[in-house]
Every structure is written in C-alpha cells, then in structure tokens.
Structure 1
Amino acid sequence: MCRQARSLSDTGPVLFAQSRAQKKSVNDADRLRKYLARFALYWANVAARGPAGDA
C-alpha cells in the first residue's frame, strides 16, 4: 500500500480505517510516520521504491 500511494496522508486512512473510528483525534499521516520509524523506515525511502515488485 505504501508504495502505491502518493503520500502519507493518502495511505493513513486506508491502513488505519478500523482503528481510526475509535480515536478522538485523527492524524493518520503522523501515525504512519511513527509506525514506519519503529522499523527504521522513512516515507521517502518507501515511496521512492515505486509500486510493489519494482526493486
């Protein structure tokens, strides 16, 4: 999903659709940025790889 999306803001709502209903404040881009950081991943690096399968 991350490789196919144009931005963090486009990706977050899709990835967090279930859990965002339980949140009082929705900031999916920040949530995704923090999640990727836990695995030493950064949006620019993930998005730069292009669609899945382009390695």
Structure 2
Amino acid sequence: METVIKVLQPGPLRIIEHKFSAEEIRKANDTISKVVANWRTNANLHPKNQLLKDYIHK
C-alpha cells in the first residue's frame, strides 16, 4: 500500500508528489505518537507552563 501526498511548494513545479510506503507511514505514526506522549508528560509535570495549557485536553 502506498499513500501519495501532494505538497504545494514554491518553484516551477508548484505541486510535488511523494509516495510513502506503508513502512514509512508506520514509522511516522510511531514518531508522532512518541512526541505527543512526551509533550503530554511535560505538560503534566510542569503545569505552570502557560505555553502548553491551551493545547492539552484532560
């Protein structure tokens, strides 16, 4: 299974297509899941941090 992502970019081509394999998509999803979990942990450990308060739904 491949997923095609169209990205608007400045330049002569305007639209660039990139095909992602299922493995690339799995790796990207795993990375995002880890980042979000880390972000939530930091928000909970540092509740006085006003930067994150509006983005964490408890």
Which TM-score band (shorter chain)? under 0.3
Of structures 1 and 2, the one scoring higher in RCO (CA 8 A, sep 6+) is 1
Higher helix share: 1
The alignment's TM-score, normalised by the length of structure 1, stands at: 0.27
Give the alignment's TM-score, normalised by structure 2: 0.26
Q: Per residue, is there more strand in 1 or in 2?
A: 2
Larger of the two Rg values belongs to structure: 2
